[in-house]
Amino acid sequence: MALAVVVVLLVVGSIIFHFMQLYGGPWYFTELAADWGTIDFTINVTFWVTGFVFVVANLFMAWCVYKFRHKDGQKAVYEPENHKLEIGLTVFTTVGVIAMLAPGLFVWAQFVTVPEEADQYEVLGSQWQWQFRYPGADGQLGAADVSHVTPANPFGINPDDPNGQDDVVVNEPNMHLPVNRPAHALLRSHDVLHNYTVTQFRVKMDLVPGLVSYLWFDPTVEGTYDILCEELCGIGHFVMRGSVTVESQAEFDAWLASQPTFAETQAISEPDMAAGQAAYAICASCHGAQGEGNQALNGPKLAGQGAWYTERQLRYFQTGVRGGEGDTLGAQMTSMSMTLADDAAIRNVAAYIESLPDTPLDPTVTGDVENGRKIYQANCAACHLDDGRGTWYTDAPSLAGMSDWYFVTQISNFGAGIRGLHPNDHYGEQMVAMATAMSNISEIEDVAAYINTLR
Amino acid sequence: MSFFKTITTKPWEKKGVIGGLDPEGAINAPNEKVALSVFLVVISVVFSLFTVGYFLRMELPDWQPLSEPGQLWFNTGLLVLSSVLFQWARNIVNSESSKHLTAAFIGGGFFAIFFITGQLVIWSNLQDAGYYMTSNPANAFYYLMTGVHAVHLLGGLWVWSKSSIKLLSGSEAKSLKLSVELCTLYWHFLLIVWIVLFAILSNT
Amino acid sequence: MAYVPLADRDHEMELHHPHTWIGKWVFCQDHKVIAIQYGSIAIFTGLVGLVLSLLFRMQLGFPETADFIDPSFYYQAVTMHGMIMVIYLLTALFLGGFGNYLIPLMCGARDMVFPFMNMLSVWVFLVSVIILMASFFVTGGPTGGGWTLYPPQTTLAGTPGHDMGIVLMLISLAVFIVATTMGGLNYVVTVLQYRCRGLTLMRLPLAVWGIFVATILALFAFPALLVAAIMMLFDLLLGTSFFMPAIIESGTPLDHNGGSPILFQHLFWFFGHPEVYIVALPAFGLVSDVLSVHARKNIFGYRMMVWAIIAIGGLSFVVWAHHMYVSGMHPYFGFFFATTTLIIAVPTAIKVYNWILTLWEGDIRLNAPMYFAIGFIFTFIHGGLTGLFLGNVVIDLPLSDTYFVVAHFHMVMGVSPVLVVFAAIYHWYPKMSGRMYHEGMAKLHFWCTFLGTYAIYLPMHYLGFLGVPRRYYALGSTDFLPASAQDLNTTITIAALFVGASQLLFLINIIWSLRSGPKAGPNPWGAASLEWQTPDTPPVHGNWGDSLPTVYRWAYDYSVPGAHQDFIPQNTPESEEPTVDAEHFDPDTDGSKADV
């Protein structure tokens, strides 16, 4: 009895909940931003068919439970089968299935057939970043392969392929697309499975190392949308984010022109060590003549850090990505970084710093090394590596032998959202999320103490 | 009665005992044989899936076919002999006289041991010639599939060794009839698997 | 050896009657003891899986409070939860537990055909569980690569447990497959060969049919997992490139070349989809019998039910790639697999209709097992219908890898089979223990589980519509997810904690009733199938006393017109239909009544 009532209530409640979401509730499909209304149509058809079955079957069951519950003197009817009824139900079900499947297959045929006029672009996934490549003037993407990957050529573009020279490479997780132009995404991965998903476009596909997969869509609404990875790709899966901006053709062309081509990225001249040394003179006052750091002046050790990382941080200080609100010590670096006039100056000084002798510092932080080891190896080593040296591939700086007190400050800043949440800090946001692996200051110190043993 | 006919009967209509003493649909064979037959189907699935994997992997560009050494023909001969001896043992055990049973049954097992030894020799020759498992998927599949086959043969030899000990310690031939039959069935099956594997490996 | 006539079978089987405690409860060859061992190990392992799920739900619902859960542990917990629940709980419980207990009893046999191999099976299963649990204590902990174990990710440095954890997981699975194969051969041969006199295949209860077909699926599907596991171990330990293409691990190129990660997915799902039915078919069978007994009515459309079980079993081998629509496989596969997948909905729907039609014009006794069975129909309808979304390839594009998928498969192969597990345990508890469980506590357990799980999974579908991705340690900041998505996550976690805690009711009830439950009598539900007709309750070793039963009718002679009582046991000859109304257990007159 109670059971019958509850089943009815659950059916009614489910329907009410559904319609609440359908009409303005917060938990329903996001607004469609691509020309895939056909997918939404198929979903609606399926909702009507399955919804009908859900309501009818459950209400009938509830009614049976109510009507035929045991009463004194009641006896069940003996009816082994009713073939006609069963055949009828089978036919009815088959019709319902066809009603859902037919539009589904029709739309799938659209999805697998890429329109000829679609513009190609490449999505490259690697642990745990998105990068993008556009074909350039010749309309063709150059051949690319894991074997060509170097820090200077993260896409692994074959340097001998003439088609690749004018490819526009976007070395950050934000991409742009022109509105109302069908876009044909070619998907490639350098390590594990990833999945390129923009919820508003409705379509997604895995990136598979060793082959090129694809999807296509026609973005119809201007705006900026999140790109998420939706295939488990390791510990950083949930922080593998990016964005796609859909804008007018003119805006898109301007953006694309501002991005470097592959040839340009390969033509960058060797850094000038002498100029770097000269520029470093001003840094030496806080960071030490050999880049060994000076805790009293809050200058962390720089020697031993990869040039790619030092460059990026200098640009962040220059553009206000770091050193913002709450980061008073960082704010000092904002003005200091301004002394470097251009990209070449940044490259020179970063290269000079990389050439300085890397002498591990004496520990200043103490903590539970064993606990630190556990936390580090489970969570940090995936990017910063077991030896704590970091790698450009995961955008992870070296930690081993660096200033441990600076590590503690920076992790605390990530944890407090002081560092890493600036919209242009594409890599810091990952650390904001990962810093939760250390739940309080003493755990941060434990990890610092463990890193001190890596030297 | 066919399976299709069985499942279309209306069980509520007919009351009373159906069939004789055997339950309808039971297979007129020892249970061990039924179980072994089902198990052989399971093993077939394993080898089929390896084969499917082999063909799918072959399509990929880095595949370099391995030229199988001629010694495999010799090994195949050993396994055929092994099967022949088991068949002989089976024929003996079904007839009244049990002469030569020990020779046939134990000889069959020994030829299987020779076969495995021969396979090991080929593996080490391939290793010496630089055909490492890691250098190419064709090599890896060769080692994997011949290895899995050898493991199944070893499993059979374990059962064979138990029966052999009984045979040598003077058990009556009749009491070993089922063991001999099961071993023979298993050996023929593994011979067929081997011939199929051999054909696939050497033709691709 | 010629075929042994049935009459002689009583003497053929040498039963080992143990005398020591160890012989009786540890190294025992009695299928009933083995069933209880299988079931207990599975349920214990399942409790570990349950606790893991509550831990990672804490992280999702209360990220601030659960700061002891780091990303690494989160992924390990998610992975181990999935693998434990699918393989080590549900597969082991349905086949090793219920299969072992019910097949010989329902077939009128003394035991399984190969009791010694049956005993080995449970011990090998225990070894696989121990290996699995050992991975919690090795360097790097258990694998965190997701229960699907997709390479190359599971074996690379960016994944927790990539060193020892994954190796132990693969070895444990291989050992488990050995155990299942030993058990499976036993179940198949027992059903074929050890049915008692007069027991045709079409007179078998649907529980046996479900377990029988599921066992065949297991025998043919698990080899695919074994093959995949062996090849992955080769890649991992010997450096081959079956599944490993040329890739970069943390900035360093690896020596692998040319392998295909998608090949692994094909092998995995060629096992993985039948696996769904390895769990579902026994559940279908068991629930059919529970419904029929408590509705005092034959199962409606028995033949269709058998055909549906066979059809679903067959079709389950040709739908696997619907798990791979967005995997990057050739997109044209989508047409084929979407079609086969939606076809499988037809026999499945027939089963649902027939369950409901069994209630129609019945004499429904709302005992606790019946509550769970009816609850199952509701959750299974819900889970089955959401499957039509995901199976229809284009709808899978927006929904795959979101919470919708999680909600769908938990409804259809988590909640639904578990409700059947409870229905079946309560239903057969009087036979297994000789005592009744506490009816009120069982019903309370039903309400907590049924309503609680619906509160978990209904909203979760909507998180999926919204686009919340699964396997995210934290949602982080996005532009499209409203802050209320986190509130919903919190609500779900509260419901999950509630459901998790309420399972204590079940454990307490089962353990307490062993000693203190009222005596049950041999056939408290008035059931017609053979297992209720044993001379002893609980049945002793050998089950049938002096002679095996003979079967004269199908298992569903309930409320037969003209009969004097509302059920006729299968072993009752036509001439001897009983004339006295047997006493039924009636919850309304039971002192512990609690219709909450």
- pLDDT tens string A101-114: 999 999 999 999 99
C269 belongs to a structural domain? no
A187 CA to chain B: closest CA distance, Å?
A: 19
Task: Say how far apart CA A251 and CA A232 lie, in whole Å.
Answer: 34
Can you name the residues that pair with C249 across neighbouring β-strands?
C252
| Contact yes or no for A237/C79 (Cβ under 8 A) | no
pLDDT in tens, A198-253: 999 999 999 999 999 999 999 999 999 999 999 999 999 999 999 999 999 999 99
Q: Is B25 near chain C, with CB under 8 Å?
A: yes
| List of chain A residues whose C-beta atoms are within 8 Å of the C-beta of residue B57 | none
Instruction: State residue C8's pLDDT score.
Output: 45
pLDDT above 60 for C181: yes
pLDDT above 60 for A265: yes
User: Of the CATH numbers 3.40.91.50, 1.10.1200.10, 2.160.10.10, 2.60.40.420, which one belongs to the domain with range A119-262?
Assistant: 2.60.40.420
Would you kindly state where each structural domain of chain A is located, as residue ranges?
2-18+30-66+85-112, 119-262, 269-359, 362-455
| Contact yes or no for C471/C159 (Cβ under 8 A) | no
Cα torsion A231, A237, A240, A246: sign: positive
Angle between the N-to-C axes of helices C302-315 and C206-233, in degrees from 0 to 180, rounded to the nearest 10: 10
> Range with the lowest mean pLDDT among B90-99, B182-191, C184-193, C321-330?
B90-99
Instruction: State residue C563's pLDDT score.
Output: 83
Of C114, C266, C298, the CB nearest to B35: C114
Sheet strands (E) in B21-155: none
Contact B28 C3 (CB under 8 A): yes
A9 CA to chain C: closest CA distance, Å?
A: 11
| Contact yes or no for C299/C309 (Cβ under 8 A) | no
Please state the domain count of chain C.
1
| List of chain A residues whose C-beta atoms are within 8 Å of the C-beta of residue C478 | 226, 228, 241
Of C248, C326, C566, the CB nearest to A206: C326
| Contact yes or no for C484/A26 (Cβ under 8 A) | yes
Q: For residue A274, give every residue at least 6 positions away whose Cβ sits within 8 Å of its Cβ, in sequence order, or none.
A: none
Element (H, E) at C216: helix C206-233
CATH superfamily of the domain spanning A269-359: Cytochrome c-like domain (1.10.760.10)
- How many C-beta atoms lie closer than 10 Å to residue B103's C-beta? 13
Instruction: State residue A359's pLDDT score.
Output: 87
Instruction: State residue C593's pLDDT score.
Output: 37
pLDDT in tens, C113-154: 999 999 999 999 999 999 999 999 998 899 999 999 999 999
Size of interface A-C (CB pairs under 8 A): 377
* pLDDT averages per 10-residue partition of chain B, 204 residues: 82 85 83 94 94 88 82 91 92 79 89 93 89 86 92 94 88 84 94 93 82
> Range with the lowest mean pLDDT among C203-217, C281-295, C527-541, C567-581?
C567-581
C39 CA to chain B: closest CA distance, Å?
A: 24
| Contact yes or no for A206/C153 (Cβ under 8 A) | no
User: What residue numbers bound the domain in which C531 lies?
Assistant: 521-596
Q: Which of C40, C413, C381, C423 is nearest to C207 (CA)?
A: C423
pLDDT in tens, A303-312: 989 999 999 9
pLDDT in tens, A357-404: 988 888 899 999 999 999 999 999 999 999 999 999 999 999 998 999
Q: Would you call B169 exposed, middle or buried from its count of C-beta atoms within 10 A (0-12, 13-18, 19+)?
A: exposed
What three-state secondary structure class fits B107?
helix
pLDDT above 50 for C6: no
The first and second tokens of residue C120, run together, are 């080995």
Cα torsion C199, C201, C205, C210: sign: positive
Instruction: State residue C584's pLDDT score.
Output: 53
Q: Which of A185, A184, A202, A186 is nearest to A33 (CA)?
A: A202
pLDDT above 70 for C589: no
Contact A230 C401 (CB under 8 A): yes
Contact C223 B148 (CB under 8 A): no
pLDDT in tens, A361-371: 888 999 999 99
Instruction: State residue B59's pLDDT score.
Output: 84
- How many C-beta atoms lie closer than 10 Å to residue B20's C-beta? 11
Q: Is A80 near chain B, with CB under 8 Å?
A: yes
What three-state secondary structure class fits C21?
helix
Contact A93 C346 (CB under 8 A): yes
Task: Say how far apart CA C101 and CA C97 lie, in whole Å.
Answer: 6
Task: Say how far apart CA C524 and CA C253 lie, in whole Å.
Answer: 67
User: Of the CATH numbers 3.40.50.720, 3.30.70.360, 3.90.340.10, 1.10.760.10, which one belongs to the domain with range A362-455?
Assistant: 1.10.760.10
C99-117 mean pLDDT? 94
Q: Is A357 near chain B, with CB under 8 Å?
A: no
Instruction: State residue C67's pLDDT score.
Output: 82
C410 CA to chain A: closest CA distance, Å?
A: 17
According to DSSP, the β-strands at A119-126 and A183-189 are: parallel
The first and second tokens of residue C124, run together, are 């090998």
C160-181 mean pLDDT? 95
C94-121 mean pLDDT? 94
What three-state secondary structure class fits C506?
helix
Instruction: State residue A102's pLDDT score.
Output: 93
Q: For residue C239, give every residue at least 6 positions away whose Cβ sits within 8 Å of its Cβ, in sequence order, or none.
A: B133, B134, C255, C256
CATH superfamily of the domain spanning B31-203: Cytochrome c oxidase, subunit III, four-helix bundle (1.20.120.80)
Instruction: State residue A69's pLDDT score.
Output: 92
Tell me if the bond preceding A151 is cis, omega within 30° of 0: no
pLDDT above 80 for C586: no
Contact C234 B144 (CB under 8 A): yes
Q: Is B40 near chain C, with CB under 8 Å?
A: no
Contact A64 C302 (CB under 8 A): no
pLDDT above 60 for C45: yes
A18 CA to chain C: closest CA distance, Å?
A: 9
> Range with the lowest mean pLDDT among A343-352, C276-285, C377-386?
A343-352
A258-282 mean pLDDT? 89
- Chain C stretch 443-462, residues whose beta carbon is closer than 8 A to a beta carbon of chain B: none
Q: Which of C96, C118, C3 is nearest to C41 (CA)?
A: C96
CB contact burial A66-91 (16+ within 10 A = b; e otherwise): eebbbeeeeebebbbbbeeebeebbe
pLDDT in tens, A119-167: 999 999 999 999 999 998 888 999 999 999 998 899 999 999 999 999 9
pLDDT above 70 for C374: yes
Task: Say how far apart CA A179 and CA A170 lie, in whole Å.
Answer: 19
C573-591 mean pLDDT? 56
Q: For residue C534, give every residue at least 6 positions away whose Cβ sits within 8 Å of its Cβ, in sequence order, or none.
A: C105, C431, C522, C543, C544, C545
Higher pLDDT pick, C364 / C596: C364
Of C223, C258, C303, the CB nearest to B46: C223
Which residue is it, tokens 């006609």? A84
Task: Say how far apart CA C411 and CA C372 lie, in whole Å.
Answer: 14
pLDDT above 80 for C15: no
The first and second tokens of residue C568, run together, are 């006729």
What are the CA-CA distances from residue A2 to residues A59, A61, C164, C227 (Å)?
A: 14, 13, 51, 50
Chain B residues within 8 angstroms (CB to CB) of chain A: 10, 12
Contact A193 C297 (CB under 8 A): no
C278-300 mean pLDDT? 95
C381-400 mean pLDDT? 94
Average pLDDT, chain C: 90
C297-307 mean pLDDT? 94
Instruction: State residue A325's pLDDT score.
Output: 81
Can you name the residues that pair with C375 across neighbouring β-strands?
none
